[in-house]
Amino acid sequence: MRTLIKLHDKYFKPYLKEEQILAAIDKMAKEIAADYKDETPLFVGVLNGAFMFVSDFLKAYQHPCEVSFVRLSSYQGLTSTGIVETLLDVPDELEGKSVIILEDVVDTGRTLKQLVHLFSNKNVKEFKIGTLFYKSDIYNGEYAIDYVGLEIPDHFIVGYGLDYNELGRNLREVYQLNQTDMINLVLFGKPGAGKGTQAGFLKEKYNLKHISTGDVFRFNIKNGTELGTLAKSYIDKGELVPDEVTIDMLKDEVEKNPDAAGFIFDGFPRTAAQAQALDNFLESKDMKVNATIALEAEDDILVERLLERGKSSGRSDDQDESKIRNRFDEYNEKTAPLKAYYEAQGKFHSVNGIGDIQDITERLSKVIDSL
Protein backbone atom coordinates (compact mmCIF):
# COMPACT_ATOMS: atom_id res chain seq x y z
CA MET A 1 0.00 0.00 0.00
CA ARG A 2 1.45 3.33 -1.03
CA THR A 3 2.23 5.84 1.69
CA LEU A 4 0.97 9.13 0.29
CA ILE A 5 -0.79 9.72 -3.03
CA LYS A 6 -1.75 12.87 -4.89
CA LEU A 7 -5.02 13.21 -6.81
CA HIS A 8 -5.48 16.55 -8.54
CA ASP A 9 -4.53 19.13 -5.89
CA LYS A 10 -5.02 16.98 -2.77
CA TYR A 11 -2.96 14.42 -0.87
CA PHE A 12 -4.44 11.24 0.56
CA LYS A 13 -2.95 8.89 3.15
CA PRO A 14 -3.51 5.15 3.68
CA TYR A 15 -6.72 4.17 5.45
CA LEU A 16 -7.92 0.62 4.63
CA LYS A 17 -6.01 -2.25 3.06
CA GLU A 18 -7.56 -4.43 0.38
CA GLU A 19 -7.72 -7.46 2.67
CA GLN A 20 -9.75 -5.48 5.24
CA ILE A 21 -12.23 -4.47 2.55
CA LEU A 22 -12.58 -7.99 1.16
CA ALA A 23 -13.13 -9.40 4.66
CA ALA A 24 -15.96 -6.90 5.22
CA ILE A 25 -17.53 -7.82 1.88
CA ASP A 26 -17.32 -11.53 2.68
CA LYS A 27 -19.08 -10.87 6.00
CA MET A 28 -21.86 -8.96 4.22
CA ALA A 29 -22.30 -11.72 1.63
CA LYS A 30 -22.73 -14.33 4.37
CA GLU A 31 -25.23 -12.18 6.28
CA ILE A 32 -27.35 -11.59 3.17
CA ALA A 33 -27.09 -15.24 2.13
CA ALA A 34 -28.46 -16.28 5.51
CA ASP A 35 -31.57 -14.18 4.78
CA TYR A 36 -32.04 -14.87 1.05
CA LYS A 37 -30.39 -18.18 0.15
CA ASP A 38 -33.79 -19.76 -0.54
CA GLU A 39 -34.86 -17.13 -3.08
CA THR A 40 -33.32 -15.09 -5.89
CA PRO A 41 -32.73 -11.52 -4.74
CA LEU A 42 -32.02 -8.65 -7.12
CA PHE A 43 -28.87 -6.76 -6.19
CA VAL A 44 -28.87 -3.17 -7.43
CA GLY A 45 -25.46 -1.51 -7.46
CA VAL A 46 -25.27 2.27 -7.26
CA LEU A 47 -22.86 3.66 -9.85
CA ASN A 48 -20.28 4.89 -10.26
CA GLY A 49 -18.80 4.32 -6.83
CA ALA A 50 -20.05 0.78 -6.14
CA PHE A 51 -18.73 -0.96 -9.26
CA MET A 52 -15.73 -2.61 -7.53
CA PHE A 53 -17.77 -3.41 -4.44
CA VAL A 54 -20.53 -5.10 -6.49
CA SER A 55 -17.99 -7.10 -8.48
CA ASP A 56 -16.28 -8.52 -5.40
CA PHE A 57 -19.57 -8.96 -3.55
CA LEU A 58 -20.96 -11.16 -6.34
CA LYS A 59 -17.83 -13.30 -6.24
CA ALA A 60 -18.43 -13.84 -2.53
CA TYR A 61 -22.19 -14.48 -2.82
CA GLN A 62 -22.55 -18.17 -3.65
CA HIS A 63 -26.32 -18.37 -4.31
CA PRO A 64 -28.68 -17.54 -7.20
CA CYS A 65 -29.21 -13.83 -7.72
CA GLU A 66 -29.90 -11.14 -10.31
CA VAL A 67 -27.91 -7.95 -10.82
CA SER A 68 -28.75 -4.48 -12.06
CA PHE A 69 -27.49 -0.93 -11.62
CA VAL A 70 -28.71 2.59 -11.11
CA ARG A 71 -26.60 5.68 -11.39
CA LEU A 72 -26.96 8.64 -9.05
CA SER A 73 -24.68 11.56 -8.31
CA SER A 74 -24.53 14.17 -5.54
CA TYR A 75 -20.78 14.87 -5.10
CA GLN A 76 -18.66 17.53 -6.72
CA GLY A 77 -15.06 17.56 -5.55
CA LEU A 78 -14.86 16.96 -1.80
CA THR A 79 -18.41 17.90 -0.85
CA SER A 80 -21.97 16.87 -1.54
CA THR A 81 -23.96 19.33 -3.64
CA GLY A 82 -27.11 18.36 -1.78
CA ILE A 83 -28.81 17.73 -5.13
CA VAL A 84 -29.11 14.08 -6.20
CA GLU A 85 -29.38 13.46 -9.94
CA THR A 86 -30.64 10.21 -11.47
CA LEU A 87 -28.36 9.39 -14.39
CA LEU A 88 -29.41 5.73 -14.93
CA ASP A 89 -32.93 4.77 -13.90
CA VAL A 90 -34.16 1.59 -12.17
CA PRO A 91 -34.87 -1.51 -14.27
CA ASP A 92 -38.39 -2.53 -15.27
CA GLU A 93 -40.20 -5.69 -14.10
CA LEU A 94 -39.46 -5.43 -10.39
CA GLU A 95 -42.84 -6.50 -9.03
CA GLY A 96 -42.61 -9.22 -6.40
CA LYS A 97 -38.82 -9.20 -6.24
CA SER A 98 -36.63 -8.82 -3.18
CA VAL A 99 -34.40 -5.84 -3.95
CA ILE A 100 -31.16 -5.19 -2.09
CA ILE A 101 -29.39 -1.92 -2.77
CA LEU A 102 -25.57 -2.12 -2.77
CA GLU A 103 -24.13 1.32 -1.98
CA ASP A 104 -20.45 2.19 -1.83
CA VAL A 105 -20.93 4.63 1.05
CA VAL A 106 -23.83 5.98 3.10
CA ASP A 107 -23.16 9.37 4.65
CA THR A 108 -25.84 12.09 4.87
CA GLY A 109 -28.60 9.89 3.43
CA ARG A 110 -29.62 12.17 0.54
CA THR A 111 -28.84 9.51 -2.05
CA LEU A 112 -30.85 6.92 -0.11
CA LYS A 113 -33.87 9.18 -0.12
CA GLN A 114 -33.73 9.32 -3.91
CA LEU A 115 -33.25 5.53 -4.12
CA VAL A 116 -36.27 4.85 -1.92
CA HIS A 117 -38.31 7.22 -4.09
CA LEU A 118 -37.20 5.42 -7.28
CA PHE A 119 -38.39 2.04 -5.98
CA SER A 120 -41.46 3.25 -4.05
CA ASN A 121 -44.02 2.46 -6.78
CA LYS A 122 -42.47 -0.75 -8.15
CA ASN A 123 -44.40 -3.17 -5.89
CA VAL A 124 -41.27 -5.00 -4.80
CA LYS A 125 -41.57 -7.82 -2.26
CA GLU A 126 -38.83 -6.42 -0.01
CA PHE A 127 -36.49 -3.45 -0.18
CA LYS A 128 -33.24 -3.61 1.80
CA ILE A 129 -30.18 -1.38 1.93
CA GLY A 130 -26.59 -2.59 2.13
CA THR A 131 -23.50 -0.39 2.15
CA LEU A 132 -19.81 -1.13 2.15
CA PHE A 133 -18.94 2.00 4.14
CA TYR A 134 -21.28 3.60 6.68
CA LYS A 135 -20.66 7.06 8.20
CA SER A 136 -23.05 6.73 11.11
CA ASP A 137 -21.93 10.04 12.66
CA ILE A 138 -23.52 12.10 9.89
CA TYR A 139 -26.31 9.81 8.65
CA ASN A 140 -29.75 11.37 9.15
CA GLY A 141 -31.26 8.02 10.15
CA GLU A 142 -34.35 8.34 7.97
CA TYR A 143 -34.08 4.78 6.63
CA ALA A 144 -32.76 1.61 8.21
CA ILE A 145 -29.39 0.36 6.98
CA ASP A 146 -29.79 -3.40 6.86
CA TYR A 147 -26.29 -4.58 5.98
CA VAL A 148 -23.02 -2.79 6.75
CA GLY A 149 -19.51 -3.72 5.71
CA LEU A 150 -17.46 -1.21 7.71
CA GLU A 151 -18.57 1.65 9.92
CA ILE A 152 -16.16 4.57 9.48
CA PRO A 153 -15.76 8.17 10.74
CA ASP A 154 -16.67 11.12 8.54
CA HIS A 155 -13.45 11.13 6.49
CA PHE A 156 -13.38 11.94 2.79
CA ILE A 157 -12.14 8.71 1.24
CA VAL A 158 -11.05 7.58 -2.22
CA GLY A 159 -10.19 4.26 -3.78
CA TYR A 160 -12.03 1.00 -4.33
CA GLY A 161 -14.53 2.74 -6.60
CA LEU A 162 -14.71 6.05 -4.76
CA ASP A 163 -13.23 9.13 -6.39
CA TYR A 164 -12.05 12.68 -6.00
CA ASN A 165 -13.21 14.42 -9.17
CA GLU A 166 -13.10 11.06 -11.02
CA LEU A 167 -9.57 10.11 -9.94
CA GLY A 168 -8.79 7.26 -7.56
CA ARG A 169 -11.59 4.84 -8.43
CA ASN A 170 -9.15 2.18 -9.66
CA LEU A 171 -7.16 1.98 -6.42
CA ARG A 172 -7.51 -1.39 -4.71
CA GLU A 173 -7.11 0.17 -1.26
CA VAL A 174 -8.88 3.10 0.41
CA TYR A 175 -7.16 6.38 1.24
CA GLN A 176 -8.40 9.30 3.30
CA LEU A 177 -7.84 13.02 2.76
CA ASN A 178 -4.70 14.27 4.46
CA GLN A 179 -5.98 17.48 6.07
CA THR A 180 -2.94 18.24 8.19
CA ASP A 181 -1.59 21.76 7.88
CA MET A 182 2.07 20.87 7.88
CA ILE A 183 4.81 22.80 9.67
CA ASN A 184 8.14 22.26 7.96
CA LEU A 185 11.26 23.62 9.61
CA VAL A 186 14.92 23.86 8.68
CA LEU A 187 17.05 23.81 11.84
CA PHE A 188 20.47 25.48 11.82
CA GLY A 189 23.12 25.60 14.48
CA LYS A 190 26.85 25.33 14.96
CA PRO A 191 28.26 22.11 16.40
CA GLY A 192 27.31 21.97 20.07
CA ALA A 193 24.34 24.34 19.69
CA GLY A 194 21.91 21.60 20.75
CA LYS A 195 20.05 20.99 17.49
CA GLY A 196 19.62 17.28 18.14
CA THR A 197 18.35 17.82 21.68
CA GLN A 198 15.86 20.49 20.64
CA ALA A 199 14.71 18.55 17.58
CA GLY A 200 13.85 15.68 19.93
CA PHE A 201 11.61 17.93 22.05
CA LEU A 202 9.99 19.69 19.09
CA LYS A 203 9.12 16.52 17.20
CA GLU A 204 7.23 15.21 20.25
CA LYS A 205 5.47 18.49 20.99
CA TYR A 206 4.31 19.16 17.41
CA ASN A 207 4.17 15.60 16.00
CA LEU A 208 6.98 16.45 13.59
CA LYS A 209 9.30 13.98 11.91
CA HIS A 210 12.99 14.77 12.50
CA ILE A 211 14.95 14.08 9.32
CA SER A 212 18.68 14.19 9.97
CA THR A 213 20.53 13.98 6.67
CA GLY A 214 23.39 12.14 8.34
CA ASP A 215 21.04 9.53 9.79
CA VAL A 216 19.27 9.13 6.45
CA PHE A 217 22.56 8.58 4.62
CA ARG A 218 23.74 6.05 7.19
CA PHE A 219 20.45 4.13 7.04
CA ASN A 220 20.42 3.91 3.24
CA ILE A 221 24.08 2.92 2.98
CA LYS A 222 23.88 0.37 5.81
CA ASN A 223 20.76 -1.26 4.33
CA GLY A 224 22.07 -1.27 0.78
CA THR A 225 19.13 0.59 -0.70
CA GLU A 226 19.34 1.70 -4.31
CA LEU A 227 19.91 5.30 -3.22
CA GLY A 228 22.36 4.22 -0.52
CA THR A 229 24.41 2.23 -3.02
CA LEU A 230 24.41 5.19 -5.40
CA ALA A 231 25.49 7.60 -2.66
CA LYS A 232 28.25 5.24 -1.53
CA SER A 233 29.62 5.04 -5.07
CA TYR A 234 30.28 8.80 -4.96
CA ILE A 235 31.62 8.74 -1.41
CA ASP A 236 34.03 5.90 -2.22
CA LYS A 237 35.45 7.98 -5.07
CA GLY A 238 35.88 10.96 -2.76
CA GLU A 239 33.19 12.90 -4.61
CA LEU A 240 30.28 14.90 -3.24
CA VAL A 241 26.93 13.16 -3.40
CA PRO A 242 24.77 15.04 -5.96
CA ASP A 243 21.94 17.09 -4.53
CA GLU A 244 19.33 15.10 -6.45
CA VAL A 245 20.38 11.88 -4.68
CA THR A 246 20.01 13.54 -1.28
CA ILE A 247 16.65 15.01 -2.30
CA ASP A 248 15.44 11.55 -3.38
CA MET A 249 16.39 10.18 0.06
CA LEU A 250 14.50 13.02 1.76
CA LYS A 251 11.53 12.37 -0.52
CA ASP A 252 11.44 8.74 0.62
CA GLU A 253 11.47 9.87 4.27
CA VAL A 254 8.62 12.32 3.70
CA GLU A 255 6.48 9.74 1.89
CA LYS A 256 7.11 7.14 4.62
CA ASN A 257 5.49 9.46 7.18
CA PRO A 258 2.07 10.55 5.86
CA ASP A 259 0.69 11.12 9.37
CA ALA A 260 3.42 13.56 10.40
CA ALA A 261 2.24 17.10 11.08
CA GLY A 262 5.44 18.31 9.42
CA PHE A 263 9.17 17.80 9.22
CA ILE A 264 12.35 19.12 10.81
CA PHE A 265 15.15 19.12 8.24
CA ASP A 266 18.51 18.88 10.00
CA GLY A 267 21.76 18.96 8.02
CA PHE A 268 20.11 19.92 4.75
CA PRO A 269 20.18 22.32 3.00
CA ARG A 270 23.81 23.40 3.30
CA THR A 271 23.93 25.66 0.23
CA ALA A 272 21.57 28.06 -1.51
CA ALA A 273 21.33 25.62 -4.43
CA GLN A 274 20.25 22.86 -2.03
CA ALA A 275 17.73 25.23 -0.43
CA GLN A 276 16.23 25.88 -3.86
CA ALA A 277 16.15 22.13 -4.56
CA LEU A 278 14.36 21.54 -1.24
CA ASP A 279 11.84 24.27 -2.08
CA ASN A 280 11.19 22.70 -5.48
CA PHE A 281 10.66 19.26 -3.95
CA LEU A 282 8.28 20.51 -1.26
CA GLU A 283 6.37 22.60 -3.80
CA SER A 284 5.79 19.45 -5.86
CA LYS A 285 4.05 18.05 -2.75
CA ASP A 286 2.03 21.24 -2.17
CA MET A 287 4.23 21.85 0.87
CA LYS A 288 6.78 24.51 1.81
CA VAL A 289 9.44 25.44 4.34
CA ASN A 290 7.54 27.49 6.92
CA ALA A 291 10.58 28.69 8.84
CA THR A 292 14.31 28.29 9.22
CA ILE A 293 15.52 28.60 12.79
CA ALA A 294 19.14 29.16 13.79
CA LEU A 295 20.21 28.30 17.33
CA GLU A 296 22.75 31.00 18.14
CA ALA A 297 25.46 30.85 20.80
CA GLU A 298 28.85 32.46 21.39
CA ASP A 299 31.77 30.45 20.08
CA ASP A 300 33.57 30.31 23.43
CA ILE A 301 30.54 28.76 25.13
CA LEU A 302 30.15 26.17 22.36
CA VAL A 303 33.87 25.32 22.50
CA GLU A 304 33.50 24.66 26.20
CA ARG A 305 30.45 22.45 25.58
CA LEU A 306 32.16 20.42 22.87
CA LEU A 307 35.37 19.91 24.83
CA GLU A 308 33.27 18.62 27.72
CA ARG A 309 31.31 16.39 25.34
CA GLY A 310 34.55 15.10 23.86
CA LYS A 311 35.53 13.58 27.19
CA SER A 312 32.76 11.00 26.82
CA SER A 313 31.90 10.97 23.10
CA GLY A 314 35.28 9.74 21.93
CA ARG A 315 35.07 12.02 18.89
CA SER A 316 38.49 13.41 18.09
CA ASP A 317 37.03 16.57 16.56
CA ASP A 318 35.35 17.30 19.92
CA GLN A 319 38.70 17.13 21.73
CA ASP A 320 40.77 19.66 19.79
CA GLU A 321 39.86 23.35 20.11
CA SER A 322 41.48 24.30 16.79
CA LYS A 323 39.42 21.65 14.97
CA ILE A 324 36.28 22.88 16.71
CA ARG A 325 36.90 26.48 15.64
CA ASN A 326 37.63 25.33 12.08
CA ARG A 327 34.20 23.67 12.07
CA PHE A 328 32.68 26.97 13.22
CA ASP A 329 34.42 28.83 10.37
CA GLU A 330 33.10 26.29 7.88
CA TYR A 331 29.59 26.66 9.31
CA ASN A 332 29.74 30.47 9.05
CA GLU A 333 30.99 30.30 5.47
CA LYS A 334 28.27 27.89 4.35
CA THR A 335 25.42 29.37 6.36
CA ALA A 336 25.85 33.00 5.26
CA PRO A 337 24.32 32.53 1.78
CA LEU A 338 21.60 30.29 3.25
CA LYS A 339 20.72 32.96 5.78
CA ALA A 340 20.41 35.49 2.95
CA TYR A 341 18.29 33.06 0.92
CA TYR A 342 15.74 32.53 3.69
CA GLU A 343 15.82 36.15 4.89
CA ALA A 344 14.75 37.16 1.38
CA GLN A 345 11.70 34.92 1.88
CA GLY A 346 11.01 36.29 5.36
CA LYS A 347 11.55 32.85 6.88
CA PHE A 348 14.79 33.20 8.84
CA HIS A 349 14.55 33.27 12.65
CA SER A 350 17.40 33.53 15.13
CA VAL A 351 16.92 32.01 18.59
CA ASN A 352 19.19 32.35 21.61
CA GLY A 353 20.61 28.88 22.21
CA ILE A 354 22.15 29.62 25.61
CA GLY A 355 20.43 28.76 28.87
CA ASP A 356 18.29 26.04 30.35
CA ILE A 357 17.16 23.42 27.81
CA GLN A 358 13.49 24.01 28.65
CA ASP A 359 13.89 27.77 28.19
CA ILE A 360 15.44 27.24 24.76
CA THR A 361 12.57 24.93 23.79
CA GLU A 362 10.09 27.63 24.81
CA ARG A 363 11.89 30.19 22.63
CA LEU A 364 11.73 27.84 19.67
CA SER A 365 8.06 27.12 20.38
CA LYS A 366 7.23 30.83 20.28
CA VAL A 367 8.61 31.02 16.76
CA ILE A 368 6.70 27.92 15.65
CA ASP A 369 3.45 29.00 17.31
CA SER A 370 3.63 32.34 15.48
CA LEU A 371 3.74 30.72 12.04
Which residues are the active-site residues?
195, 270, 309, 315, 327
Please state, in angstroms and as integers, the Cα–Cα distance from residue 315 to each residue in 71, 288, 310, 312, 358, following that order: 69, 35, 6, 8, 27
Q: What's the rounded Cα separation, in Å, for the pair 343 and 290?
A: 12
Which residues contact residue 263 at a Cβ distance below 8 angstroms, ignoring those fewer than 6 apart?
182, 184, 185, 208, 209, 210, 211, 253, 254, 257
Query: What DSSP character marks residue 159?
Result: B
Q: What would the DSSP string read from start to end of 288-310?
A: ---EEEEEE--HHHHHHHHHHHH
Q: What's the rounded Cα separation, in Å, for the pair 290 and 347?
A: 7
Contact 128, 36 (CB under 8 A): no
CA–CA–CA angle 284, 215, 274 (5° rounding): 40
Please state, in angstroms and as integers, the Cα–Cα distance from residue 22 to each residue in 174, 197, 230, 329, following that order: 12, 45, 40, 60
Which residues contact residue 262 at a Cβ distance below 8 angstroms, ignoring those fewer than 6 apart?
180, 182, 183, 184, 185, 206, 207, 208, 209, 290
